[in-house]
């Protein structure tokens, strides 16, 4: 499929201008992300990731910290540095993925602009509503998107040997990601085989043999890389411990699938199904009344279906957590655009383009779902770079549609819809209501300095909360590297205390996690030579007599502290915490 099958296009000033605006929007989002690297802190997820980065030897079960410490020449990871790494990973992987899309499309359509494709990928970037510090999810995104970019690039190579080596590189990136999330590595490998087998005009059996050989070679390189990375220890034990931890938390594939289908899938299916039904009904009715008004039917149908979805989401907001409310709208607009683009893409562009389009469209549509596999969170609570492939598919469709009789107004409306949806979601989740920042505070409210190696800017209440916590530890002469068990998922407190969480990088609270906590508490008891400090963000617990309880919140002259009040601004950040419990209970072993 070379240039002889290419479709000629003519330059269009307004089309170029629209992509320039998208690119500018992506740069603005990037600027906000870089500006906010020292603003706000999530004592849950971000605390967990920072523990792994600051003390990787204790937390090899969180392999991203160990891996990044091995490959990056950074003496000390701070929160701003960690967030910058996350941004860089998404930028680099998005760039490589865009390059793969560009190379694949440019062999089938002339006049393809890499900047236009990257502009669409950029506006699909930075949409996560979860933690900003670099995590194993960021590395999964990086390896998945980079592998997809390499695989798309390989499909443009006519030299069989060069294509094989590109497949080996893609397979290596996939198999190496097993270290971070094995289910994702498996699902991405299945997609890799599907594309490798179905692409081109060659018989499928030789393609299968070639793909198998490339995957085996990539897996062999992975084993070699693991052996070098974990020199002096067993990487097999690390993978075994990762699986054991997932089992204790009941992160089984069937359980996760049920979670997606019941909690997450149901609202998505309802909203997307509702939107598509309204769109199709309106379009059919208007076309039947005014058959020559297809553009009008398209515009009215899109507007009405989007409005219905929006008001349905607003009406059901009591069923959705704060972070989810704009996400359903975001997903509806993106899905709507993708469906319309695929439906309108000309069927007879060329036989080869049509066949390749089906294979690549299927690959890009399912790639986000493959990358999210094994994630212990709902799709609508995640929105990492998982969804970038859909914007790559949108770029392909828009370019092909630019060669057809597709209305220019439709074209610009699709671009504007994507820009509007991503802009709203980014502003809501990254500026107005960042995840893990308490009490509906925006990034602009984070303007008080918390002294320390991170020099974070937090809200006044959050700084008072953390300073009072640190004051308790200082009054008891608690030194760095002290074992601290923080129940109710508060590893960020352990990180800020410069301690370490013995046995496991985090502890939870509640009957659902008794097996997990007991297993790692027993492991901690065997591994440490002194009782740990215990942190509880709930009052429903009593400890043995050899512990002293200090209640952070309202103190009444306990252990020399005068009466004062410091409320917990994080009391409602995580849904499984006790509602309206504004204190932190610090159990310190006697003798400190």
Q: What is the pTM of this model?
A: 0.87
Q: Kindly give the pairing relationship between strand 484-486 and strand 533-536.
A: parallel
CA distance 508 to 445: 29
Question: Could you tell me the end-to-end alpha-carbon distance of the chain, in angstroms, rounded to an integer?
Answer: 74
Scan for tokens 């059919």, then name that residue: 284
CA distance 428 to 421: 11
Per-residue pLDDT, 145: 94
Burial class of residue 50, CB neighbours in 10 A (0-12, 13-18, 19+): buried
**Residues 400-421: tens digit of each pLDDT:** 877 777 778 778 888 888 888 8
Tokens of 362: 């299927």
CA distance 141 to 86: 10
- 457's enclosing H/E stretch is strand 456-458
Per-residue pLDDT, 247: 75
Per-residue pLDDT of the chain (592 residues; tens, 9 = 90+): 444 344 344 457 777 888 888 999 999 999 999 999 999 999 888 999 999 998 888 887 788 898 999 899 888 899 999 999 999 999 999 999 999 999 998 888 888 889 999 999 999 999 887 778 999 889 988 999 999 999 999 988 888 889 999 999 999 999 999 888 888 888 899 999 988 888 766 667 788 888 999 999 999 999 999 988 887 677 777 777 777 777 777 776 666 666 665 555 566 667 677 777 877 888 788 878 877 777 777 777 777 877 777 777 666 655 555 556 677 777 777 877 887 777 777 665 444 456 677 788 889 988 887 887 666 666 665 667 778 998 998 888 888 877 777 778 778 888 888 888 888 889 888 898 888 888 778 999 999 999 888 999 999 888 888 888 888 888 888 888 889 998 888 899 999 999 999 888 888 877 777 888 888 888 887 778 778 888 887 666 666 677 777 766 544 444 444 445 667 787 767 655 454 455 778 888 877 7
Per-residue pLDDT, 558: 42
- CB neighbours of residue 287 within 10 Å: 16
Residues contacting residue 428 through CB under 8 Å, at least 6 positions apart: 325, 326
At CA 491, angle to CA 463 and CA 454, rounded to 5? 45
Contact indicator for 147, 192 with CB cutoff of 8 Å: yes
Q: How would DSSP label each residue in 174-212? A: HHHGGGT-HHHHHHHHHHHHHHHHHSSSS-HHHHHHHHH
Q: What are phi and psi of 157, to 5 degrees?
A: -90, 130
CA distance 154 to 160: 10
At CA 502, angle to CA 496 and CA 508, rounded to 5? 75
What's the Cα-to-Cα distance from 35 to each of 40, 95, 430, 443, rounded to whole Å? 12, 21, 11, 10
Q: What are phi and psi of 559, to 5 degrees?
A: 55, 40
Per-residue pLDDT, 168: 96
Residues contacting residue 24 through CB under 8 Å, at least 6 positions apart: none
Contact indicator for 157, 210 with CB cutoff of 8 Å: no
Per-residue pLDDT, 6: 42
Per-residue pLDDT, 26: 92
CA distance 457 to 334: 34
Return left, alpha or beta for 481; rule: phi > 0 is left, psi -120 to 50 is alpha, else beta: left
CA distance 208 to 218: 15
């Amino acid at each position: 499929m070379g240039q002889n099958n290419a479709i000629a296009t003519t330059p269009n000033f307004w089309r170029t201008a629209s992509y320039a605006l998208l690119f500018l929007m992506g740069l603005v989002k990037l600027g906000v992300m870089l500006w906010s690297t020292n603003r706000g802190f999530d004592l849950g997820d971000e605390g967990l990731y920072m523990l792994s980065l600051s003390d990787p030897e204790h937390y090899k079960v969180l392999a991203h910290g160990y891996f990044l410490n091995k490959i990056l020449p950074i003496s000390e990871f701070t929160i701003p540095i960690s967030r910058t790494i996350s941004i860089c990973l998404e930028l680099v992987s998005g760039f490589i993925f865009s390059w793969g899309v560009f190379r694949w499309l440019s062999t089938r359509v002339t006049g393809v602009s890499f900047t236009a494709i990257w502009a669409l990928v950029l506006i699909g970037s930075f949409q996560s509503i979860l933690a900003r510090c670099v995590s194993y999810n960021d590395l999964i995104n990086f390896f998945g998107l980079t592998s997809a970019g390499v695989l798309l690039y390989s499909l443009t190579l006519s030299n069989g040997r060069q294509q094989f080596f590109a497949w080996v590189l893609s397979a290596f990136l996939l198999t190496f990601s097993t270290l971070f999330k094995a289910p994702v590595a498996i699902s991405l490998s299945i997609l890799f085989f599907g594309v490798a087998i179905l692409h081109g005009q060659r018989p499928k059996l030789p393609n299968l043999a070639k793909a198998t050989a490339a995957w085996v070679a990539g897996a062999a390189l992975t084993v070699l890389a693991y052996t070098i990375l974990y020199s002096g220890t067993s990487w097999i034990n690390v993978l075994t411990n990762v699986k054991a931890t997932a089992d204790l938390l009941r992160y089984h594939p069937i359980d996760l699938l049920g979670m997606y289908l019941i909690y997450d899938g149901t609202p998505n299916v309802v909203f997307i199904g509702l939107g598509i039904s309204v769109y199709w009904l309106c379009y059919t009715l208007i076309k039947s009344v005014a058959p020559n008004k297809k553009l009008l039917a398209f515009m009215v149908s899109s507007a009405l279906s989007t409005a219905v979805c929006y008001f349905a989401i607003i009406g059901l907001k009591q069923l959705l957590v704060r972070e989810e409310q704009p996400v359903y709208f975001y997903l509806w607009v993106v899905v709507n655009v993708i469906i319309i683009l695929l439906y309108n893409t000309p069927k007879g562009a060329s036989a080869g383009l049509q066949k390749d389009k089906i294979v690549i469209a299927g690959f890009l549509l399912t790639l986000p779902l493959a990358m999210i596999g094994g994630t212990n969170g709902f799709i609508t609570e995640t929105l990492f770079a998982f969804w970038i492939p859909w914007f790559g598919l949108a770029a392909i469709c828009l370019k092909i549609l630019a060669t057809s009789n597709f209305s220019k107004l439709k074209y610009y409306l699709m671009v504007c819809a994507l820009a509007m949806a991503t802009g709203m979601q980014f502003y809501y989740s990254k500026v107005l209501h960042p995840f893990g920042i308490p009490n509906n505070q925006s990034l602009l409210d984070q303007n008080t300095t918390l002294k320390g190696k991170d020099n974070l800017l937090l809200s006044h209440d959050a700084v008072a909360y953390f300073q009072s916590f640190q004051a308790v530890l200082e009054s008891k002469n608690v030194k760095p590297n002290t074992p601290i068990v923080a129940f109710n998922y508060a590893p960020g407190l352990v990180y800020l205390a410069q301690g370490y969480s013995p046995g496991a990088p985090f502890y939870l609270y509640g009957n659902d996690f008794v097996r997990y906590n007991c297993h790692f508490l027993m492991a901690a008891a065997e591994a440490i030579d002194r009782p740990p400090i215990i942190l509880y963000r709930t009052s429903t617990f009593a400890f043995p007599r050899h512990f002293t309880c200090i209640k952070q919140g309202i103190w009444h002259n306990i252990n020399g502290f005068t009466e004062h009040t410091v409320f917990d601004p994080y009391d409602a950040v995580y849904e499984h915490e006790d509602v309206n419990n504004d204190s932190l209970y610090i159990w310190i072993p006697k003798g400190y």
